Every structure is written in structure tokens, then in C-alpha cells.
A and B are shown apart, each in its own frame.
Chain A
Amino acid sequence: TDEWRLSCINKEFSVCPSYPPVVIVPKCITDEELRKVAMFRHSSRFPVLSYYHRKNGMVMMRSSQPLTGTNGRRCKEDEKLINASLRPGKRGYIIDTRSLNVAQQARAKGGGFEQEVHYPQWRRIHKGIERFNILQESLIKLVEACNDQSHNMDRWLSKLEASNWLTHVKEILTTACLAAQCIDREGASVLVHGTEGTDSTLQVTSLAQIILDPRCRTIRGFESLVVREWLQAGHPFQQRCAQSAYSNSKQKWEAPVFLLFLDCVWQILRQFPCSFEFNEQFLITLFEHSYASQFGTFLGNNESERAKLKLPQKTMSLWSWVNRKEELSKFQNPIYEANSLVIWPAVAPQSLQLWAGVFLRWNRPSQYLEEAQEEMVKIIRYNKELQDKVKVLRRHLAEVEAAGRAQGNL
């Protein structure tokens, strides 16, 4: 567009190793300036475009934290870049996925956040999304609770509560909704970041897109969302998804960040069962492959590693397998009807549920639920068949009538 351009600055992964070679940045920012901005951002993850909201031209950007440190360093190019993403007279929100406290503490380690004095057109919002080991412990506790064979109702609920898993789901979903709300309702642009911008940031930006953009709710659209916002954006799958819930050794970098994202998608899917082209099975499949896969898609921590490992040459892509016709039919939602609107999920505790399809998969009888699925497919299929038959018959009738008329006119 007029305001944004592709930049190949990261062609050899030289500026930011966890970014893809090509990124989208404001047009008025030169590559030279980008290099300077990268110096000012954690792991060189300078702000890039994540999503462009066609309806009103607002954008969502993501980055890592600015390296302001304790003495409040500034970077003119960074300020210029961020302001360049705004249209004249417009304002924006910076959504920091850390609580204010955590963000302030980060200054001591050289990190920090944008001072509103230096970014006068932006307002900062802090939302506390947990990270790393807290999430991992939460997952371990949850899986433990789900596998507990005792029959005591009370213990089940308190264990579910103690795992805090649903609290994390609620927090992430709420923050994503907030970002979407800023863009769609407030008509403001948004910059999302946490510390590195590789975890909670991506949860928020990708979920916001699912809420805002109907294309992300199709199978292809969701696939490209995962590619864009997770794989290319440098979510370190190798580090995060190494051991899953049953590991005793404390892996420092292990965290179910992607699983939480999928869980949130499932929550939205449950609330809008007709608005997604894919079904729950699709999400479960992605979850499985993110931890262990015969495909190379989720290997490595970022594009640069994948390029070094020559994965595209050496392994098959999950997507090419999923997109084959016979596989695809398993993942299609029979009651999908394209919904072009923004979908706003409810995030009250009453509205969120444990994702039984993943966590209780081995502990609940699935036979009856599968039968229900089949029945649903049957109903829809029969309806389609009849529609086709009626169409054929109508056409036939029209032909016969026309023929009759022609004969009558003779």
C-alpha cells in the first residue's frame, strides 16, 4: 500500500535472527533506520506489521520490549517508526503483555517500556499474561488433575482451579479481545509486545486476527496465520514444545504457549460453532504436531534455524499433508457458514470451559460425541443432496415446459 512496504533488510537473518527474511514496515522508514531501531529492541525484534484491518485501515504491530533501561534511553528512529504507523491525527495503543510491575522490573535488566512522554500519541495498557515456567507448571498440574482417578467432585474442581490453566486462557483471550477492540471499535492502531515478543505477544496478535478477520477462520487462512504469526515470527517451538506435561526435569524454556493459543481458539470456536471452517480435530492435530511430528513444519526455533537445517528440502510440510483432500475432510466443520463479521467472544468464567477434547481425551467416552458429529454431517449432507436434486429437477422442468411451449406455438 501507500503506507507500508516490504523490507528485505533481514535477508541473511543478519539484523534479527528470529525474524523472517522479509518483513513489512512503514514506507517512510529506511532500512538504515530499521537497523538503529533493532539495536533499541530486545533481540533486535523491531516493530513490524502484523495485521492490517481493511475496514478502517488500522494496524496491529508487534515487537519486543524497548531497551530503555533504568535511565530511560530513547531512540529517535524507534519513535519515528512507531509514529509512522499512525495515520495523521490518529492515536494508538501499546499493549504490554506484562503487568506494570513486571515491566518496571525489566528496566533493571536493560529492558523496559515506552514512556508516554516520548510517544505522546500512544497510550500504554498493561495486561499480565504469564510466561514460561508458570505456564508449564500450570499445564503439569492440570494434566495431573485430569488423570486423577479419584471420584471426588470437590477435589476435581479445586485442582482445576489450582492449576490456573483457565485463568491463563481467560487472560490471554481478554488481552486479544482488547487489542481487537482497540482496532475495530476505537479505530486505533495497536502495538503489542511483552519482553521478547515471541510468546504472549504472538498469542495476542494471532487471536486478535481470528476475532477480526474472517479469513483466519478458514482452514487455509488459519494455516497461514500459524505460519505468519508463529513460525515466521520466531516462536521458539523447539524450546517450548520439547517435553510437554510429563517431564520431571525442569526445562527452562519449556512452556505450552502454543497450546494455550489453540485452547483460546477452541474457546472461540465453541462460542461461534458456525463461524469456523475447521473443527476441533484440526486444532488437536496441530497441538500434537507441535510437540511431535513426522513433518518438519514445527522443527527449529525460527526461520533462520529452519533454513540452516535445510528443513524445507529435507522434510515434508505438515500443511501439504493436511491440505490433501482426504485429510482435509476430517478437519472440516460441517456447519460452517462464512461469517464476515468480527466475532466477539465472551470471556467470563461461565463462558470458558476446560478443553475436554485435549485434556480429557483419554478419560472420557468419545463414542457418543463422535456419533453426534457423524449425525451432524449426515444431516448437512442430505440437505445438500436434496438441494442439488431440486436444482436439477427445476432445470429439467423448465426445459420440458419450454419445449412444450415451443410445440404449442407451432
Chain B
Amino acid sequence: MEHIRMPKVENVRLLDRLSSRKAVVGTLYLTATHVIFVENGSETRKETWVLHSQISSIEKQATTATGCPLVIRCKNFQVIQLVIPQERDCHDVYISLIRLARPVKYEELYCFSFNPKLDKEEREQGWKLVDLNEEYNRMGVPNNYWQICDVNRDYGVCDSYPTEVYVPKSATAHIIVGSSKFRSRRRFPALSYYCKDNNASICRSSQPLSGFSARCLEDEQMLQAIRKANPGSDFIYVVDTRPKLNAMANRAAGKGYENEDNYSNIKFQFIGIENIHVMRNSLQKMLEVCELKSPSMSDFLWGLENSGWLKHIKAIMDAGIFIAKAVAEEGVSVLVHCSDGWDRTAQVCSVASLLLDPYYRTMKGFMVLIEKDWVSFGHKFNHRYGNLDGDPKEISPVIDQFIECVWQLMEQFPCAFEFNERFLIHIQHHIYSCQFGNFLCNSQKERRELKIQERTYSLWAHLWKNRADYLNPLYRSDHSQNQGTLHPQIAPCNFLYKFWSGMYNRFEKGLHPRQSVTDYLMAVKEETQQLEEELEVLGERLENLQKSQLGDNKVKSKQQDQSKQLRLSTSNNSLANTPQEYSNDLKSFPSRSPSQGDEEDSALILTQDNLKSSDPDLSANSDQESGVEDLSCRSPSGGGCLPSEDSGKDSDEAVFLAG
């Protein structure tokens, strides 16, 4: 590749983020798609792979006596600190990476070169896994109240909308086009979720171009049509997810919000979710806290609070809860918008849908939900997640926040979701990785022009193939939590929101619980299944044997060999476990005995490194078969459950505040 000035640098040191004393020496490679660090010496030769598209920023720090430090921060919250001996080399790597991390053409992205060795048919099947037509049918539309409108067939009305959207039956093409002209970027009100049981619906749009006094008859008729599509209710809620101040400021630019006086039978409501710039800064602040070296409890809590991150998460959840309540309990339809109706609106609609409909809490349903509310309705993935080099002010963790909302709900409702935390983390990872085509571009129109489905693979098929890894063992579809709406505690719920270290400190394995209940239960369930099978086999054999003995008493010793040895887990509950740095005082102690008498602990560290990764492309040993993990082994391995490019990291040491 022409952008790589320096394909290989030797004697590079990879610093442990938590302990500056620990560093490994190795070789750094730059390839067309990855940065790869290969550890020297040790037998394992651990590798750390980072996709270029995951790189968020590269910082070259002042040269020190030991070399030139280079810090790579990734969009999946990995931070890699390298020290390169020669300043010149470091500069070359730096320049190369800056270019590689910011591709200018879609064709440079990894998904166009990524080939999981599937044939054409399998690829096409993969893209068919999530089918929105099927989804709308599942919801119960088209029906007497809702129909597909084809005014946007060639993206003629709104280029950021999909070609097929559902609108009230009474909304004529004239009304739709008229309404679209009165809405920012022509994003007219369209159906997001329909509740079969009571005809209430969630619709979405952008803000009206009302300015201080403008009106639009068609738009008013459009809202009227939405209300009529729900005969059980005589009004609809219009939810503006912005803070009131922002919405008012928009009026000066000829935009704004609906005037209750002009629209018959609407109830207008502000929710107060901040805009993408506030969210970007908030995340930035929170990540700074995560990156602190041995922070005190106060540093951490102050930092977390100052970032405001959890406050924003709560605001999004509150909006979702409000809408879910309106639909489920009051039976009132809701129209949601923010400014353009593709960020906050997507967050809020999908949180509400998730609360309302247990289907979206299944693995397949969750894929459908993202496809529906985010991908099809033109969430600007390319701009928000910086896939191509663009305006840094467009970048914002919008879908990250939605994913965190789901996680917060999972913590409150442990049995309500079919999938586990790992599923969410992998989705987040791939939104940035550009390894699959799903999240490329800013709209359906652009994706179709690029022929994404013909040239790349679908993430959903990939996740579906490995779905065993993403199951929540506590989920049962017949469970009470999965009948109908979830009712998260509305108040006082502020302390229910927790910092998600599994995401934001994802690569600091030392910080996480060393044993995973999820993994343990999954192994137990796996074993249970084997037992069920064996029980059946044994039962059959017993029956046959008894029959044959009655018959001719033939000895069937052959069967003895077939006896399937069930691997009942006898694994010792092994944990790679070394003490962490609890005090600096120990360093000064002269008689640090080399014989630590701890063969058992240290030996286990090696086994720990067999990362259980369902993503061969993510894990360090990228060419290994993915299905090799021994699930009958019950030892829940501490950190080995996350997709990781960080096998270069020793998973078990962390620094602690010294006395």
C-alpha cells in the first residue's frame, strides 16, 4: 500500500496501561488493514491486532530516553501505548497510521477486502436474515389503518428514508409530499412501531419548519391521520426529544416545533436529551476518567459525574419509558422527533420498542430493531462513527448510548433478554470495525448505490452463526419478564444506572470480575443438553438390549465401546490469578524471593489465554478455527469471553493505588 511508509518496526515496547513497569518487547507491523504487534520471545508470541478503522486517534508524545511513545486510542475503547526506539521510525508509523485510519473512499474499508470464505449463496442468505418486510408483517401492518407508501420509491421525496415506509391509510400522496416539504430534510412522519393489541403506534419524523408562525395544512392533516389510525384515542403525543431551549433556538432558523394550537388534538412534550456535541464531549470526559492511572475513588466518581454520561443515558431511558407508557398503558400514539430525526429519535424509538415488545429482546429481534430504527431510517453511521475521513464535529456516540441503555436494562431485568453482554459489545465493535457492510454509509440510498449487499458480508449472519456464544442462560421466553412490556422503575432510579466497565474498560481485564456467572451457567446448560442426549441414547439402548435379550440373548458387547463418555466436568475451577499491585512499598523490599512457590497459579495463566472468541477475525489468532473452545469445561474464564485484539495483554494485572 502506498500509504505505508514503514511496514515493520522491531524492538517496539508495548506498555501495559495499568502498570508502567510491565512492558513487552516485540515487532510492529503495518498492513493494509491492521496494525499488528507481535511479542518477542515468549512461546506464545502473543499478537495484538488493531483494525485501522478502529483507530480513533494517534498521539505522538515527546521523545524520552527510552524512545518515542505513541498512543493509539481506539473506537472500541482500547488504548495501546507503544514506545518506538527511533524517533524517525515513530514518525513514519505515525504519518502512515494517520492516513490509514482515515480512509477517503468507501472502497478502502475493510469490508471490501474481508472474505470469510463463504460462497455467493451464503452471502446472499446472510443478507436475507433480517427482513424488514417480514418485521412489519409481524407487527401487524399493512392493515386497515396502515399501508406502505411508495412515494419514496426512487428516494424522490426523502433521500435519507428507505424506499418503503408505512403511513396511515388516510394519508394521501399529496399529504405526504406536502408534509415532507414542511419537515427538516423532508423526513415526514412515518411508522416506527405498531402495537397490534391497541392500535397505538410510534411514528417518527424530523422537526417541522414552523419558525415562529409558519403552518402547513398537509402536515396538520398528516398528524390527524396518525391520530385517526388509532381509533381508541382522541389525541396523540408529539414528543420533541430536545431540550426546550434548543428547540426554541431552532425557530429562529425557520425550524422548531409543533404549535399545539395549530394541530388539533395533540399533546406536546419536551424530553431534554442533549445534542450530539454535548454527548461527544461527555464521552470524551468519561474516557479520560477511565484512562486515569490508579485513580482514587473520589477521582473516579467525580470524573464520572462531571462527564454527565450517566445523566444522558438516563435522559434517553426516560424518554423511552415515557413513550412506552403512552403506548402500552394509555393506548395513545406518539410522534417522536428531534432536529433531523435520525439521532435522538432513533435512540428513543428503539428504547421504547425494546420496552414494549419482547420480540426485540431476542437475538433476532434485536438485529431487526437496529436494522429498522437505525439502518433503514438513515442514521448517519458514516458521519457519526467516522468511518471515512470527515468532519470531526459530526462524530458522536449515538448508538453507543442506545447499546448502553440496553445493557442498563439487562442489569435490571436479568431474565428478560435472550442475548448477553458480549452480544452488545460485539455489535458495538462492528459498528466501528467496517468489517461488515451493514453500517456503511449514511442512508439506504447510498448503500444501494455502492452495492453493499453484493460486495460485502452481513454482520447479522455472522452473529447468528455464533449465536451460542451470545445466549443469556437465564433467559426463558415463557418467563414473566418476557410477557409484554418491561416496567423499569421510574423513580427513584438514578442509582440504578451504573458505570459499564465491561464496555469502557473493556480491555482492562484486570478490572473485571474474574468469574463470569453467564459463562458458568452457559457451560452448565451445555452439559445439561449433553446429559439429555445421553439419557435418550441410554434409554434406547436399554430398550433394545432388553428386547434382544428377550429375543435371542445375543451379546452385544460392541455397544460397550460406543458408550459415549460424558465429560462430566471435573475441571478445577482454575483462575489465572496473580496479585495486583497493592502497594508500592513492596518494591523497596530487598529480599523479594524468586521462588514464589506458586506453580499452580502461574501455570494457569497460560491456559487462561485460550481466548474463547467466537470471532476468528477479531481474535489474535485470526486463522484459527473458532469452534474449538471446550464448553464442557466449566471454569468460567475471567476475561477470555470478549472479542479481543488484545491478547498481547496480560489479562490479570492491574495497578492499585499505593499507600
A-side residues, CB < 8 A to B, are 55-56, 91, 93, 123, 125-128, 146, 148-154, 156-158, 160-161, 164, 166-167, 170, 174-175, 177-178, 180-182, 184-187, 270-275, 335, 337-344, 346-354, 356, 360, 363-365, 368-369, 371-372, 375-376, 379-380, 382-383, 386-387, 389-390, 393-394, 396-397, 400-401, 403-405, 407-409
CB distance from B10 to the nearest CB of A (A): 33
Known: A393-B538, A407-B553. A341 touches B575 (CB 8 A): yes
Contact of B413 with A368 in the complex, beta carbons under 8 Å: yes
Whole-angstrom distance from the CB of B574 to the nearest CB of chain A? 7
**A164 and B524 form a contact (CB under 8 A):** no
A211 to B66, CA, bound (A): 38
Instruction: Tell me whether A153 and B497 are in contact (CB under 8 A).
Output: yes
Task: Please determine whether B495 and A354 come into contact, CB atoms closer than 8 angstroms.
Answer: yes
- Knowing A274-B517, A339-B575, A401-B559, say if A387 contacts B305 (CB, 8 Å): no
CB <8 Å contact, B511 and A394: no
Q: Could you jot down 9 A-B contacts, CB within 8 Å?
A: A154-B305, A160-B495, A170-B657, A174-B657, A187-B597, A339-B572, A371-B415, A386-B532, A390-B531
Number of interface residues of B (CB under 8 A): 107
Is B574 in contact with A341, judged by CB distance below 8 angstroms? yes
Q: Is B596 an interface residue (CB 8 A)?
A: yes
Q: Residues of B contacting A156 with CB < 8 Å? A: 494-495
B1 contact set on A, CB distance < 8 A = none
- For B297, give its contact among A149, A166, A180 (CB under 8 Å): A166
CB distance from B177 to the nearest CB of A (A): 42
* B617: interface (CB < 8 Å): no
Q: Is B217 interfacial (CB 8 A cutoff)?
A: no
Also in contact, A153 and B656, with CB within 8 A (given A273-B517, A344-B578, A400-B545)? no
Whether B297 pairs with A161 at a CB distance below 8 angstroms is yes
Q: Name the B residues within 8 Å of A338 (CB-CB).
A: 573
Known contacts A344-B580, A350-B501; A368 and B492 CB within 8 A of each other:
no
Contacts of B534 in A (CB 8 A): 390
> Whole-angstrom distance between the alpha carbons of A397 and B579 in the complex?
49
Binding site for A on B (CB under 8 A): 18, 290, 294-302, 304-305, 308, 310-311, 314, 412-416, 473-474, 476, 479-481, 489, 491-499, 501, 505, 508, 510-517, 520-521, 524-525, 527-528, 531-532, 534-535, 538-539, 541-542, 545-546, 548-549, 553-557, 559-560, 563, 566, 568, 572-575, 577-580, 582-583, 585-586, 589, 591-593, 595-598, 600-601, 604, 634, 636, 652, 654, 656-657, 659
B511 and A342 contacting across the interface, CB-CB below 8 Å:
no
Q: Which of A91, A184, A273, A400 contacts B546 (CB 8 A)?
A: A400
Find A349's partner among B301, B595, B636 (CB 8 Å cutoff). B301
Q: Is the CB of A186 within 8 A of B586?
A: yes
Alpha-carbon distance A357/B560, docked complex (angstroms): 52
State in angstroms the CA–CA spacing of A180 and B498 once bound together.
Answer: 30
A148-B492, A368-B412 are contacts. A178–B566 as well, Cβ < 8 Å? Answer: no
Residues of B within 8 A of A350 (CB): 290, 300, 499, 501, 505, 508, 511
Q: A335-B517, A371-B481 are in contact. Are A177 and B495 (CB under 8 A)?
A: no
Docked-complex contact A157 and B573, CB < 8 angstroms: no
On chain A, the residues within 8 Å of B302 by CB distance are: 158, 161
Q: For A127, A271, A341, A396, which residue has the most chain B Cβ atoms within 10 angstroms?
A: A341
Q: Is the CB of A363 within 8 A of B636?
A: no
> Do B297 and A349 touch (CB < 8 A)?
yes
Q: Give me 7 other A-B pairs in contact (C-beta within 8 A), A339-B572, A350-B290 excluded.
A: A56-B597, A93-B589, A153-B311, A161-B301, A177-B579, A343-B575, A371-B480
B496 to chain A: closest CB distance in Å? 6
Q: Whole-angstrom distance between the alpha carbons of A384 and B656 in the complex? A: 40
Q: Which residue in A55, A167, A275, A368 is a CB contact (below 8 Å) of B515?
A: A275
CB distance from A97 to the nearest CB of B (A): 11
Given contacts A152-B494, A344-B579, contact A337 B634 (CB under 8 A): yes
Question: Once bound together, how far apart are the Cα atoms of A396 and B501, in whole Å?
Answer: 51
| Cross-chain contact B592 with A186 (CB below 8 angstroms) | yes
